Structure 1
């Protein structure tokens, strides 16, 4: 297991990974004690290896003298919520997000419910392979279960509507990817009055993200042919990413969600700043549409932790990724699919508009995002590769190019090309692919 842009992650080797997690829990626990933390909350998604990694991490933290509170299968944003509401907590999520069940990973959250700083990440990385020296028996930590975690989180999500809206009369199809939201999202929507159709809500430890709409978006059209609903909500395995569709299966991504919520917030004067944060993936058409209604836009590197840090730095409320991670700091410091879902639906109702009408306000630029298998991700760090990309950018000045390492799959890179024409996008993409394939 290696450290990546979204925590420790990788394929699970039962012996090596268990030993790694034991050390990770111990050394992180020792560092946490120096920072004044007394306990950690551990949540996980539904993949089978989560039980093993949870036990190893738990043993490591306890051996460092840190108490452990186990929240069980619960979405990433719920752990963010719990760490920010319990006093003196550190949060741990065991999940590989949208990856298949064979992979797993670990994310850390500080007492504010935000992903930890790069400085702390680097400090953990330096120490994680050192020997373990457990504290004396009298100073060992203890373990507890938080039986109320799911209920508390659902009630909090509902409270973000503040009585302004409900979903009575709506039918919503939920594709939970057999992940951490398999119970929570349907329960939340039903408690708000909606009729719910459940798809991919039966996890068995091995089927997380399998054949899910959040990854295979052609399924939205398939669902629209097979079922009658007002909206379809697809979430990923760890529950921090949302993709929506209307009753016809037209897909509504994170860019659309950001525009919708930003427009609603502006109409209600909810955000004094009139600015939002996105990433290099955000379509320039969305930026132009936001600017037309008086909302500024700031870009960061890809990754919700970069969005979070930019929001905090600029004291802004709203940010998100095209993939569907949406952060609304008035409610949560983490990307939260459930809050993004109910806030999006509330915004559509308050603006008296539809998903189709929202998309008609945005002049999307032709755009392609492709994942490429490589022998070594570090190829994109080579000077010759960077010089070649710079040459391509000069050759096609109207194009926006982003080449980055995958944050969750260690043998892949992501290439995004955006331009004013489909032909130019395809040409630029082929030139970049020729550098690595």
Structure 2
């Protein structure tokens, strides 16, 4: 069944347009509060946000919604998405909410929901909340209206948690690290954690003003990070996105290292330590074929899922794996976290550098990516992937790429776009097959 409000990762959109309004946030709070009622105790929701100006509006509207149905609210202020997940579980909250549009510009915002275990919601949970959003809320009597409270030590709790994931026998002393926080949710916690572990820290993107989140900084705009790493003679640069659940790295030469290379490094390090569970890495259909081949050389399997870190996590649970993620830099280490955590992933990369004693350029260049091309085709309506000519074009492309590459076709979960990706050893064939499918979709 097609979802009405939820996309690939929560509810997201332009502020004061589509679904991202104060009225919608109020209804989401009322619906989620009703859905997560379990018994007669005082129910509690923990709410965090990134640094967007609209976070104030969404936070207050959500809180009013929860309070109106009898749920107490705990505010933790600007915090990374993984911190909200961790704190939801550790504080025994009935649910958690992160207000963020991740790597999107400040004009957008979003609502991500977590269950009491700190995990993102299932499709079934989201469908039920959507149903309740469209129903009249069951308001609490006056004496049962929820209370709202702010806690001030949430940052310290998360910094302590993140540091505990770094091997106790290691230190970052002598390592110069540039950290770009995208003027987002990790602008305090990430530099603090690195400094407390002994690193010489150079900060970028740590002066949020409500409108500069992800603007010319962070994991989606790493040019300033690259320049700063090279000019300062740093050993490595780490870039987070607006809600700090993804990580991109820059080595000492200024070369960008994507999530596939990072997952390869972490997988090999965990295997060397005897800590890789399930004998495999879980990645999505978008991860490069070169990663799969490199892991196979080391006797490590690779399981693929559809795009979305919650689908990665579902497969990790099913197959007993403790490492998974996406090419975009969402990396899940389930021994430590219930969702992607850019800071925790960065600390694992730094630990591997300290243990390896080699430059980042050597430690993080583990395979040559297979040529890969992704194009988006916008459509006006209907179901282009059901068109017979589109199906024929896809079948022909798959046949021509067989044994030499892959073709991945998927519908965006957030906009009317078909994403066409192909990869293979012959870049001209890859481009021809992507164009062939895109032209068929556009004509459908």
Give the TM-score category using the shorter length.
over 0.9
Give the aligned partner of residue 31 of structure 1. 35
Moved more, 410-419 or 179-188: 410-419
Residues 262-304 of structure 1 deviation map (CA, whole Å, 9 limit, x = unaligned): 1111111113432110110111111111111121111001110
Query: Offset at 1:334?
Result: 0.8
Cα distance in 1 for partners of 2:365, 2:247 equals 20
1:396 to 396, 401, 415: 401
Q: Structure 2 CA distance, aligned partners of 1:68 and 1:23?
A: 15
Deviations 1:131-153 (Å, cap 9, x if unpaired)? 23411011111111121111100
Once the two structures are superposed, residues 119-140 of structure 1 have per-residue CA deviations (whole angstroms, 9 ceiling, x without a partner) of: 1111111121222341101111
> Match for 1:202 among 204, 207, 213?
207
1:19 pairs, out of 19, 23, 33, with: 23
Q: Does 1:307 align with 2:322?
A: no
Gaps of 5+ in 2: none
1:128 and 2:133 correspond: yes
SS in 1 for 2:129: helix
Q: SS at the partner of 1:4?
A: coil
- Contact kept? 2:394, 2:437, Cα under 8 Å: yes
Q: Select 1:180's aligned residue among 181, 185, 189.
A: 185
Compute the displacement of 1:332 (Å): 0.4
Describe the superposition over 1:221-257 as per-residue Cα deviations: whole angstroms up to 9, x where unpaired: 4334443211111110011000001111111111111
Q: Which one of 406, 415, 424 corresponds to residue 412 of structure 2?
A: 406
Partner of 1:229: 234
Stretch of structure 1 that moved more, 127-136 or 291-300: 127-136
Is 1:348 the counterpart of 2:353 in the alignment?
Answer: yes
- Pairing of 1:233-272 with structure 2 (within 5 A): 233-272=238-277
Report which stretch shifted further, 51-60 or 375-384: 375-384
Q: In the alignment, is the contact (CA less than 8 A) between 1:252 and 1:355 conserved in 2?
A: no
The answer on 1:158 being equivalent to 2:163 is yes
Q: CA deviation at 1:344?
A: 0.9
Contact conserved, 2:178 with 2:225, CA < 8 A, in 1?
no
With over 3 angstroms needed to count, the CA separation of the structure-2 counterparts of 1:416 and 1:222, relative to structure 1, is farther
Post-superposition CA distance 1:23-58 (Å, at most 9, x none):
111011011114788211111111111110111110
Q: Give the alignment's TM-score, normalised by structure 2.
A: 0.92
Q: Check conservation: 2:262, 2:364, Cα contact below 8 A.
A: no
Mean Cα deviation higher: 40-49 or 358-367: 358-367
Tell me, in whole angstroms, the C-alpha distance in 2 between the residues paired with 1:335 and 1:11.
Answer: 24
Aligned length: 436
- Give the corresponding residue for 2:103: 98
Q: Does structure 1 conserve the Cα–Cα contact (< 8 Å) formed by 2:180 and 2:206?
A: yes
2:48 matches 1:47: no
User: Do the aligned partners of residues 205 and 378 (structure 1) sit closer, same or farther apart at CA in structure 2, a change above 3 Å counting?
Assistant: farther
Which stretch shows the higher mean deviation, 356-365 or 182-191?
Answer: 356-365
Residue number in structure 2 paired with 1:212: 217
The corresponding residue for 1:143 is 148
Residues 172 and 72 from structure 1, CA distance in 2 versus in 1: closer, same or farther, beyond 3 angstroms? same
Q: Contact (CA 8 Å) 1:260, 1:348: kept in 2 or not? A: no
| TM-score (structure 1 length as normaliser) | 0.94
Residues 98-131 of structure 1, C-alpha deviations (whole Å, 9 max, x = no match): 1111111111111221111111111111121222
Distance 1:371 1:352, change over 3 A: farther
- Partner deviation per Cα, 1:389-418 (whole Å, 9 max, x = no partner): 2232123323312222334x4244433221
**Residue in structure 2 matched with residue 6 of structure 1 by the alignment:** 9
Residue by residue over 1:2-32, the C-alpha shift from the partner in whole angstroms, topping out at 9 and shown as x without a partner, is 3211111111117971111111110110111
Q: How far off is 1:383 after superposition?
A: 5.7
Q: 1:377 to 1:180 in 2, by over 3 A?
A: farther
* Contact kept? 2:5, 2:130, Cα under 8 Å: no
Contact 1:168 1:192 in 2 (8 A): yes
Residue segments in structure 1 that go unaligned for 5+ positions in a row: none
Deviation readout 1:196-240 (Å, 9 max, x if unpaired): 222222111111111124113444543344432111111100110
Describe the SS at the equivalent of 1:92.
Answer: strand
Counterparts of 2:231 and 2:34, CA distance in 1: 53
Q: Distance in 2 between matches of 1:197 and 1:191?
A: 13
Post-superposition shift, 1:433?
2.4
